[in-house]
């Protein structure tokens, strides 16, 4: 399923945004400005509901930029936790998978060599090879997912650094 979007610029900071078909309101990932998407006849217009440029806190309420920064930090933390969970599961899967594969190979070898049953021994050997092969393929998929999560975390960390730089440019 292809997601359809149009590229527009943030009214507050000018950063390029991707607005999807089903989005009615969102916050700019760069400046935190809350925007409403208004569709009129074949055009799309963004209207700022609250700008991140409002750096003054009123009555102890956090600004939109601070809320956006908090959400970015939460998202980065959640992604890092998910990445760590995936890596721990990968280690456990490898331990049990390789152990099972090697055990099947050894049992198959001894069954075949003992002369008990050539077919059963060969079947156990093949099962061991397939178990190890499956674990290796699974490991590659998990590593690709971990790399993808790390890339997302790096992007979010970059946004957090941008927020920090804009808050304290000196």
Give the start-to-end residue ranges of the domains of the chain. Answer: 5-50, 74-167
Res. 1: pLDDT tops 50: no
Query: What's the CA gap between 22 and 6, in Å, rounded?
Result: 11
Look at the pTM and tell me if it is higher than 0.85: no
**Helical axes 118-167 vs 64-114, angle rounded to 10°:** 170
Quote the tokens at residue 148: 């993808």
CATH number of 5-50: 2.20.28
Q: Check whether 168 has a pLDDT greater than 70.
A: no
Question: Which DSSP helix (H) or strand (E) runs through 38?
Answer: strand 34-40
Which tokens go with 53? 């440029």
Could you report the per-residue pLDDT of 35-78, keeping only the tens digit for each?
888 777 767 777 777 544 443 333 445 555 565 777 778 888 88
Q: Residue 3: its pLDDT value, please?
A: 58
Higher per-residue confidence, 114 vs 64: 114
Distance CA 29, CA 18 (A): 11
User: What would the pLDDT profile of 9-42 be if each residue is shown by its tens digit?
Assistant: 887 777 888 777 777 787 777 777 778 887 777 6
């Amino acid at each position: 399923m292809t997601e359809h979007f149009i590229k527009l610029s943030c009214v507050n900071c000018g950063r390029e945004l991707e607005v999807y078909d089903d989005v009615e309101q969102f916050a700019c990932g760069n400046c935190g400005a809350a925007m409403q998407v208004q569709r009129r006849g074949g055009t799309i217009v963004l209207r700022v509901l609250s700008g991140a440029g409002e750096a003054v806190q009123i009555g102890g309420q956090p600004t939109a930029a601070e809320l956006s920064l908090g959400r970015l930090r939460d998202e980065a933390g959640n992604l890092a936790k998910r990445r760590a969970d995936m890596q721990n599961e990968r280690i456990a899967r490898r331990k049990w998978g390789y152990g099972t594969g090697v055990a099947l190979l050894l049992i198959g070898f001894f069954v075949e060599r003992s002369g008990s049953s050539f077919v059963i021994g060969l079947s156990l050997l093949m099962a061991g090879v397939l178990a190890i092969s499956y674990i290796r393929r699974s490991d590659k998929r998990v590593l690709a997912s971990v790399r993808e999560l790390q890339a997302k975390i790096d992007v979010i960390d970059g946004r957090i650094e941008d927020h920090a730089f804009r808050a304290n440019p000196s």
